[in-house]
Amino acid sequence: MIEGNSSLRDTAIIVLFGPTGSGKTTFANVASGDSMRVGRGLKSCTQQVEPTTMFTVDGKPVVVIDCPGFDDTYLSETEILKSVAGFLTVAYSQNFKIAGLLYLHKITDTRVGGSSLRHMNMFKELCGTDSLKNVVYVMNMWSDPPTEDEVLREEELRYSDEFFGMPLAEGAQMARHDNTQESAHNIIRKLLPRSPTVPKISRQLVDEGLQLEKTSAGIALGHGLEDEIRKLNDEIIRLREDHAQATRENNERFKKTLEAQERRAQEKHQRLEQDIESLKQGHKRDEAAWEQHLSEYTAAMSTSMSKTMADMLERLDSKHEERVDSLLRKHEQELEGARRAEEARTELLKQAYDEALAEARESRSKCIIA
């Protein structure tokens, strides 16, 4: 049962982060009972920040927000950060309560590459130190039973400052998820007793008035994009040197291969430059879209909650009537049992009285004869 007179602003909001394929959408579906589309393989299905329907954990209303991974198949890191920033800005401005942030990680990943480390760092910068007490790193997709390698990998992730060691030392928590609703709700229970948090990026955008590119998360993303551009520049220089060598050697087949590789590198270079420019443009368009989206979502959720509460009250009334009827039937049965017992006792007393009376008459008759 939902406690009190709840609205979306009284709802605990849990925001999901993590790489594509780490199980975010599945977690959201399992926790809420929804059926958002789940990606299979390496392609992402979550292409925007997407809320679940409201559900309850220990009587408290909860909504899970599923965010696309920063390594999304179709969206750039910049587009994703802008969408997340838009949501978190509106949520803070309109006093929605962020109860916690979950970062899901596949325990079966045998290695954590450079882009994954960059995304982990971006997540930490997005949250900020003050919000780490509201962060849970969720280890997902365990074997049954867990393998020795998975347990060792969990320990490395837990204690290495390269991974989750530093956030955990500063107040974050770590948990296993076994893909059941009970497990998902137990993870959410770790966050519900804590005071709602305001992620660092929200304070920087709203309170400090910073542009997205100047926030800690924006700076982390910008540096990552610039590093990628430097690596591509080096790669393009190498490809051109190899192409010149192939030209001197009249190796046409190798030249075509190198030309195709350079085209792909140039295309990626152009996309990265566009991402940097997009980051400079900020998140205002996403913020405006989220204001409209949250307004519609809040209205729909209020309608849904009213119906849910009405259904619950109807069920409670029905159960109350059934309970009263059951108690009345039980009371009637007890009264009937007592009546029958009293009748049986009265009958026994009457029989005993009749027998005693008959015996007394017989005894008196014998005395008179004598």
φ, ψ of residue 175 to 5 degrees: the values are -150, 155
C-alpha 141: how far from chain center: 15
Its pTM stands at 0.75
Length of the chain: 370
Helices (H), the chain: 24-32, 77-93, 114-127, 148-159, 165-169, 181-189, 200-202, 216-248, 252-281, 284-369
- Are residues 52 and 172 in contact, defined by beta-carbon separation less than 8 angstroms? no
Q: How many CB atoms lie within 10 A of CB 245?
A: 13
Q: Which of 37-41, 276-280, 310-314 has the lowest mean pLDDT?
A: 37-41
d(CA 21, CA 351) in angstroms, rounded, equals 85
d(CA 336, CA 357) in angstroms, rounded, equals 31
d(CA 272, CA 267) in angstroms, rounded, equals 9
Q: Which residues pair with 104 in a beta bridge?
A: 138
Between the CA of residue 291 and those of 83, 217, 358, what are the distances in Å? 12, 22, 98
Residue type, 56: T
Model pLDDT for residues 208-257, shown as the tens digit of each residue:
999 999 999 999 999 999 999 999 999 999 999 999 999 999 999 999 99
Helix, coil or strand: residue 39: coil
- Are residues 126 and 39 in contact, defined by beta-carbon separation less than 8 angstroms? no
- Are residues 79 and 21 in contact, defined by beta-carbon separation less than 8 angstroms? no
* For residue 7, pLDDT beyond 70: no
Model pLDDT for residues 127-173, shown as the tens digit of each residue:
999 999 999 999 999 999 999 999 999 999 999 999 999 999 999 99
- Are residues 131 and 170 in contact, defined by beta-carbon separation less than 8 angstroms? no
Q: Token pair for residue 177?
A: 């998820």
- Are residues 31 and 55 in contact, defined by beta-carbon separation less than 8 angstroms? yes
Residue type, 85: A
φ, ψ of residue 103 to 5 degrees: the values are -115, 110
State mean pLDDT over 314-335: 74
| Domain ranges (residues) in the chain | 8-208, 216-278
Short-list 1, 55, 4, CA closest to 28: 55
264: left (phi over 0), alpha (psi -120 to 50) or beta: alpha
Q: How many CB atoms lie within 10 A of CB 370?
A: 5
Q: What is the pLDDT of residue 256?
A: 94
- Are residues 32 and 55 in contact, defined by beta-carbon separation less than 8 angstroms? yes
Model pLDDT for residues 75-120, shown as the tens digit of each residue:
888 999 999 999 999 999 989 989 999 999 999 988 777 778 888 9
pLDDT band at 369 (very low <50, low <70, confident <90, very high): low
Which residue shows structure tokens 């909001």? 13
C-alpha 320: how far from chain center: 34
Q: How many CB atoms lie within 10 A of CB 113?
A: 10
Which CATH code, of 3.40.309.10, 3.40.50.300, 1.10.579.10, 1.10.10.10, is assigned to 8-208? 3.40.50.300
Q: Which residues contact 35 (CB under 8 A, 6 or more apart)?
A: 29
- Are residues 173 and 188 in contact, defined by beta-carbon separation less than 8 angstroms? no
CA atoms within 13 A on the CB side of 230: 6
